Amino acid sequence: MKKSVLFLLGASAMLSAQITLTKTANDPVSGDVINYNQLNGSVDNSAVGANVTFSNAAVTMGPSSQTTYSVPTSAEITTFPGSTIKMVDGATTIYYKATATKLEITGIVNPQATLNFNVDNGTYNNYPTTYGPAQNDTAKGTFSSSVANGLFSGTLATQADAYGTLIIGNKTYNNVLRVKYTQSFNLYSSFDVIYSNPIGTVTNTAYAYYDASHRYALLSTSSGNISVPLLGINQSTSSAQALSETFLTVNNAVKKENLVVYPNPAKDFIGFKGNTDNYSKANIYSLDGKLVKTAEVKSGNIQISDLPPASYFIEMSEKNTSEKKNAKFIKK
């Protein structure tokens, strides 16, 4: 599905638990590469409030995609003043300014249009972001597209409006905070410097689902609209994606035994309990779904001394069938 201009302005605990988004744990980091999959099926964002269940068991894995974060070039910083980090997600690039207490949007480049927040940056997150209180901000700048150029002005609202249990396919995440991002901008002709006569609108609603174990959203959706009646433009777009990790789940309907890794945590080698004679290949993934190592299963052991200390998923494939097993382990 085609992504909207403002895509991503928006991505076990007790029932009473909830998380807080912080700069240290959730601000984007230059050099990060996040593996996602687009989703087949509709995401249900209707649950609101405390201790709810975000039920999306029916969605399935779609095409893969990557989101990368890097430092803007000097030319990009000149174009989008104040930018300190940029996100590239397919054909969409978003520029941010990271400060001690917030993450602000300085620019968006998309095949549909470019929004430059050079008059007033738009706040994406004020830290900490907790369940309940709304964050509101204004933004102004210039827009350009293949059919029109001009000014824009409007508002951004960010609110963590729900928390609870997230179900994606056959994977369940507990203690998940859902953040809703709502953007509403009016478009103006370039000579309307007092912003008195809007010629169009850009609106977008995005949802992002976070847990305490991941810097980036487990699941994110976006639904937006661009309307410029004088030019006959009225375009709506939507998209949804989840971390690739969410689909690294064993279907135990065929084999009821799970893959058990030992020792766990491990330092140099990992072995497996049970019969693994029919499994010849293993893929090891980071928790964000990135493939970090492929190994042959020899004598029931796999060397992991070359991996940095962290938590990983291992997925093993059977020699003559499509059967797979997986498990989570810790490299110390």
pLDDT value at position 291?
79
pLDDT value at position 323?
64
Long-range Cβ contact pairs of 296-302 (< 8 A, separation 24 or more):
300/271, 300/272, 300/276, 301/269, 301/270, 301/271, 302/269, 302/270
95 within 8 A of 75, measured Cβ to Cβ = no
Structural domains for the chain? 23-246 (no CATH), 249-331 (2.60.40.10)
pLDDT value at position 275?
65
Best CA proximity match to 67, nearest among 323, 260, 243, 204:
243
Question: Tens-of-pLDDT digits for all 332 residues of the chain?
Answer: 444 444 444 433 334 457 899 999 999 999 998 989 999 999 999 999 999 999 999 999 888 888 999 999 999 999 999 999 999 998 899 999 999 999 999 999 988 889 999 999 999 999 999 999 899 999 999 999 888 899 999 999 999 999 999 999 888 999 999 999 999 999 999 999 999 999 999 999 999 999 998 999 999 999 999 999 988 889 888 999 999 888 764 333 233 346 788 888 888 888 887 666 677 778 888 866 677 888 887 667 888 989 988 888 888 777 666 567 777 888 88
Residues 166, 172, 173, 174, CA torsion sign? positive
Residue 75 is inside which H or E element, if any? helix 74-79
List the structure tokens of 201.
Answer: 């609108």
